[in-house]
Structure 1
Amino acid sequence: MKKATLGLFLIFLSHLGFSQELNFTVIINSDRARIQNTTVFNTMKTSFEQFLNGRSWTTDEFRPEERIKGNLLITINDVPQVGVYNATVQIQTVRPIYGTNYESLLFNFADRNWNFEYIESQPLEFNRFNFLNNISSLLGYYAHIALGIDYDSFSSKGGEDFFEVANDIVNNAQQSGRPGWVQSPTDRRNRYWLINDLYTSSVYAPIREAYYLYHRQGLDILQIEPEKAYENMLEAIRLVAEANKAQPNGILTITFMDAKGDEIAQVFKNASLEIRTELVELLLEVDPNNARKYNELTKS
């Protein structure tokens, strides 16, 4: 009987392992804060990683190797009083490319204005319909953004349900009055505008389709059908340019290019001159600050 019970328990544990979707590493840099006792940041790191990686965010099954890998880079800029922190956050996620060992940078976003209260050993709970604190709201928000963009890259607009939750988190967090959650005309690179472009605005819907074309219909088949892959990836950039033309310099356009710019400049080196020529024309419209990098594509 004990062996049977143990067997059932192990099966149960194995199913729990399948359900955790995220594999994030949290890195905390407190150098700017210049405080003497930094041990709190060790427990903070552990607490934040457990919040992100230790719960189920979906009802889908994930094998350990399928979990979404990411980094959460937190820079503590100031500690105005004990337990209160002002920080910036860099969020990055990667996506494995089918049939290769390559991991493509999928999401790269800088959140420049986060203040929060943290007490060691405090439990972190999450509720999509209520603002509990500025830690669980921010971490829950980016967990769903990461899931949504990852799902978008595997199926056309597959991340819709996750963006809906992220939108709920923003709506509930606005009552807190904390920066980053509101429709600020002076800060268009915040959490409000990111989910607005991903979920609410129809103007940027083509970029969500671009995530799918570029990755699932592009990079994933590049080794076996290069001509088709390059054409699909070029079409993805056309869609990004379309959205940018309708509303220039949107946060989603910038976020897409921040993640993909260097990769595009490398991957397209083997494309035909015709494709490279059109690609560079589009990139110079969408991301002119990196013109030198893109112009190299037509010189090879």
Structure 2
Amino acid sequence: MRFKLSLFFFIILTSKVSAQELNFTVTINSDRARTQNKDIFDQMKNSFEQFLNGRSWTNDQFDPEERIKGNMLVTINDMPQVGFFEATVQIQAVRPVYGSSYESLAFNFVDRNWSFEFLESQPMEFNRYSHLSEITSLLAYYAYIVIGIDYDTFAPEGGEPYFEIANNIVSNAQQSSRPGWEQNPSNKRNRYWLIDELYSAQVTRPVRDAYYLMHRLGMDQLTKKPAEAYQNILEALKKLEEVNRTQPNSILTITFMDAKSDEISKILKNAPDEIKEQAVSILLKVDPNNARKYNDILKG
């Protein structure tokens, strides 16, 4: 009986420890792929989803409804030989807003340069201390990026340990000489530079503060403390302005605005006029490509 009880509690504890953090949907766009074997893309989708959703990435316990929702769109650009693919990957992740059924887009990034091998029944092996394959390194990298940003929205620099792991994945993957992992000054919208600004570059740290101010102290508080919430959203934009002054065209600032620009525009239309005016002045500097959208904020 004691053995059975011990086994019972072991199973319970094991199930809690192994709770998964991600709930991702993977879509494979294979329209450009030159192959008659379309079944391989169904296998690819299932393998990628199982890898992302079927393992534990942290030591924290997540209830099913707490899992981080996201989408990964893999667009196959070319298939120069059997089993070898060149692709673009778009990763999006959302975060719930406290006191509502609304889900806020927290991360939106397009990785335009990914080459990898995938064969039927290919094992998906990953070791955070070494580079085993392009697929598992990239999927794990974005898993830790998404988790890190999610944690940053709930606590100041809460994602630090996960960005450290993502940084190690990049260091290990550089031995592959595949694009996207390298320190290429002519292409600063790749995996190397994204994690460099999230983890290593002190000059861009205020953007991580902006994630917390925007979400936990801003959007989460809008229904209960709107005056404070709007002020904190403005403070988040001031953090972006600070980085924009010292490092224009920061990949982290661009990534933040790629996720939040539409949402910020809608939220600020209901803000006090003084907040609107200050916010629009900042937004026009930080994200001038969306000037029309931000000028519409002042129209109410």
Same fold (TM over 0.5): yes
Q: Distance in 2 between matches of 1:243 and 1:9?
A: 49
By how many angstroms is 1:175 displaced? 0.8
Unaligned runs of 5+ in 2: none
Partner of 2:12: 11
Shift of 1:186: 1.5
Look up the SS of the partner of 1:33 in the other structure.
coil
| Separation in 2, partners of 1:251, 1:207 | 11
Partners of 1:128 and 1:4 in 2: CA distance: 35
Match of 2:220 in 1: 220
Is the partner of 1:192 in helix, strand or coil? helix
Residue matched to 2:99: 99
d(CA) in 2 for partners of 1:258, 1:34: 32
1:38 is aligned to 38
Question: How big is the shift at 1:11?
Answer: 3.0
Query: Does residue 81 in structure 1 map to residue 81 in structure 2?
Result: yes
Identity %: 63
- Write out aligned runs for 1:196-235 (5 A): 196-235=196-235
Cα-Cα RMSD? 1.5
- Summarize the Cα distance change of 1:120–1:16 in structure 2 as closer, same or farther, 3 Å threshold: farther
* Deviations 1:97-138 (CA, angstroms, capped at 9, x unpaired): 011000000000000000000111111111111010100100
Superposition TM-score, scaled by structure 1 size:
0.96
CA distance in 1, matches of 2:65, 2:145: 20
In structure 2, what is the Cα distance between the partners aligned to 1:160 and 1:16? Answer: 21
Q: How far off is 1:202 after superposition? A: 0.6
Q: Which residue of 2 aligns with 1:179?
A: 179
Q: Where do residues 1-300 of structure 1 align in structure 2 (5 Å cutoff)?
A: 8=9, 11=12, 14-15=15-16, 19-300=19-300
Q: Tell me, in whole angstroms, the C-alpha distance in 2 between the residues paired with 1:73 and 1:221.
A: 32
In 1, distance between residues paired with 2:290 and 2:123?
44
| Range with greater deviation from structure 2 (78-87 or 117-126) | 117-126
> What amino acid maps onto 1:132 in structure 2?
L
Per-residue deviation at 1:34? 3.9
Deviations 1:151-204 (A, max 9, x none): 000000000000000000001111110000011111110000000110010110
- Alpha-carbon offset, residue 6 of structure 1: 8.8
Which digits, 9 at most, give the CA deviation of each residue in 1:228-247, with x for residues without a partner?
Answer: 00000100000011101101
* Alpha-carbon separation, structure 2, partners of 1:47 and 1:215: 32
Equivalent residue letter for 1:235: E
What secondary structure sits across from 1:74 in the alignment? Answer: strand
Q: Is the 8 A contact 2:17 2:61 kept in 1?
A: no
Contact preservation (8 Å) 2:276, 2:298 = yes
SS in 2 for 1:32: coil
Aligned AA (2:194): L
Q: CA deviation at 1:14?
A: 4.5
Secondary structure of residue in 2 paired with 1:24: strand
> For the Cα contact (< 8 Å) 2:181–2:191, is it kept in 1?
yes
SS of residue in 2 equivalent to 1:260: helix
Q: C-alpha offsets along residues 39-74 of structure 1, whole Å, 9 cap, x if unaligned? A: 001111111111111111100000000000010100
The one-letter code of the counterpart of 1:115 is S
Distance in 2 between residues matched to 1:248 and 1:159, nearest whole Å: 24
Aligned to 1:198, the other structure's residue is in SS state helix
Q: Is the 8 A contact 2:17 2:59 kept in 1?
A: no
Q: What is the rounded CA distance, in whole Å, between the counterparts of 1:225 and 1:219 in structure 2? A: 10
**Structure 2 length-normalised TM:** 0.96
- For the residues of structure 2 that align with 1:14 and 1:37, how far apart are their CA atoms? 38
Residue 181 of structure 1 aligns to a residue whose secondary structure is: coil
